[in-house]
Amino acid sequence: MIPNIVRGTRVGGLIRYLYGPGKREEHVNPHLVAAWDGAGRLSKLEPLVGVDGRRDFRQLIDLLEQPVHNARNPPRKHVWHCSIRTDPTDRWLTDEQWAHIGGEVMAAVGLAPHGDPKAVRWVAIRHGPDHIHIVATLVRQDRRTAWGRNDYWLAQAACRDLERRYGLRRLGPADRTGHRRPTAPELNKARRTGRRETSRDRLRREVRFAAATAGGEGEFFALLHQAGLLARARTSSIHPDQITGYAVATPDDTTATGEPVWYSGGKLATDLTLPQLRSRWGQPAAAADSATRVQRRKPGVVPVVCHTSALPTADGCTVVRSLTAARLPLLTCTQPVFVEPPSAPGIAAFGAHCVRALLRLPLMSDKPRTPNTYAATSTGMLERQLRGQRSIA
């Protein structure tokens, strides 16, 4: 059972559409199945059909809008519309069952609690076998505004309970752990630029792959850089030396001024925030803060997160010199630069670690570098770190 809630300004237009034939003649036998407490018999509220075959909606519309006209502070969008649809595999419910479902949902969202004679006015209209439409005005009959906060999540919870009570197909709970869907502007932008997916979808896919593959923050950001993404850290406003989050962007998705469009981990999915990833890697926030520190150098220099443990020396320098001679291609990334010790002993694992560290160290400055200065400076910087120096200067 899926509820869908929207808000609007025109009660009359919505009522006429629900009683009309629909966009594809899909509306069959539209009629009321429920109404607010004190509304009286549904037959008295039902729009009458005139001699010309048209329905007269004026009485029903006036009754629904009367509290809005007398309101102290009516909301700009005072029409609340909720459609509730069962799964195609579910049995068809009766009008009485749909009336009960409509009343339970209205009580759950707080617009018409049970036993409240001054609640908002609402009606439930059925024009199909598998769904109903609830139309309400967001002003109570005592002239107070009913804002309907968190109505979507409350309606979802009510539907999960009604699925259990009516023996319908049970959907997953609305626990807010699903990923954020692309907005209409994002979809239009992807269509204009000829992309097969939006930047949000691509970033979510790449970040989720990096999170599943990495064993820590350093490897996680290295994989993002290797995928050609931009990444930056967010530091705490109370403790500037602590990293509390991150944001990612694609180089080809920019604003009108040419700035990248950044998405934080929480804007991609709730399980991709940095605290969630640290918990996934077995690295609580407190441990991460004690294991890393952010060194801020002069303005214009990217912060560097250095691991507090010392690194081996001899074999690492040999590997680095051979790699710099090959002039490996640079990868695009922004702050921060993460450096961690290898996760396992052995020259192969440490060599791979040196590759990741080497490709990120030149990004400490935004000054242009030639291939020769890139190789020389990178080797010197990494050698100093491998000797156990805490700061990279």
Query: What span, in angstroms and rounded, lies between the C-alpha atoms of 117 and 383?
Result: 78
Q: Is 52 left (phi over 0), alpha (psi -120 to 50) or beta?
A: alpha
Give yes or no for a cis peptide into 182 (omega within 30° of 0). Answer: no
* pLDDT score recorded for residue 47: 93
Query: In the chain, what percentage of residues exceed pLDDT 90?
Result: 46
- Select the more confidently predicted residue: 3 or 292: 3
pLDDT exceeds cutoff 80 at 257: yes
Q: Assign 384 a pLDDT band (cuts: 50, 70, 90).
A: very low
pLDDT exceeds cutoff 90 at 144: yes
Mean pLDDT of the chain: 76
Residue with tokens 């990868």: 331
Sketch the domain layout of the chain as residue ranges.
2-166, 196-386
Q: End-to-end CA distance of the chain, in Å? A: 61
Decide: 135 and 12 in contact? Cβ < 8 Å.
no
**Range from 136-150, 295-309, 377-391 that averages highest in pLDDT:** 136-150
The one-letter amino acid code at 303 reads P
- Select the more confidently predicted residue: 269 or 364: 269
**Range from 139-148, 168-177, 237-246, 344-353 that averages highest in pLDDT:** 139-148
Closest alpha carbon to 154 in 178, 139, 176: 176
Decide: 138 and 5 in contact? Cβ < 8 Å.
no
Q: What angle do CA 331, 337, 340 make, to 5 degrees?
A: 110
> Average of pLDDT values for 250-270?
90
- Select the more confidently predicted residue: 333 or 37: 37
DSSP H helical segments within 109-198, as ranges? 151-166, 184-193
Helix (H, G, I), strand (E, B) or coil at 180: coil
pLDDT tens-digit map of 203-253:
999 999 999 988 888 889 889 999 899 999 888 888 888 888 999 999 999
pLDDT exceeds cutoff 70 at 377: no
Determine which of 242-256, 261-275, 308-322 has the lowest per-residue pLDDT on average: 308-322
Topology classification of domain 2-166: BirA Bifunctional Protein; domain 2 (3.30.930)
* pLDDT score recorded for residue 15: 95
pLDDT exceeds cutoff 80 at 356: no
* pLDDT score recorded for residue 217: 87
* pLDDT score recorded for residue 181: 72
In our burial notation (b when 16+ CB lie closer than 10 A, e otherwise), range 126-153 reads bbeebbbbbbbbbbbbeeebbebeebee
Decide: 305 and 243 in contact? Cβ < 8 Å.
yes
Q: Assign 261 a pLDDT band (cuts: 50, 70, 90).
A: very high
> Average of pLDDT values for 76-101?
94
pLDDT tens-digit map of 34-76:
999 989 899 999 999 888 889 999 999 999 999 999 998 899 9
Q: What angle do CA 379, 385, 391 make, to 5 degrees?
A: 120
Global pTM reads 0.53
Q: Assign 174 a pLDDT band (cuts: 50, 70, 90).
A: low
Query: What span, in angstroms and rounded, lies between the C-alpha atoms of 16 and 241?
Result: 60
* pLDDT score recorded for residue 392: 34
Closest alpha carbon to 323 in 372, 375, 360, 370: 375
* pLDDT score recorded for residue 104: 96
Query: What span, in angstroms and rounded, lies between the C-alpha atoms of 93 and 126?
Result: 11
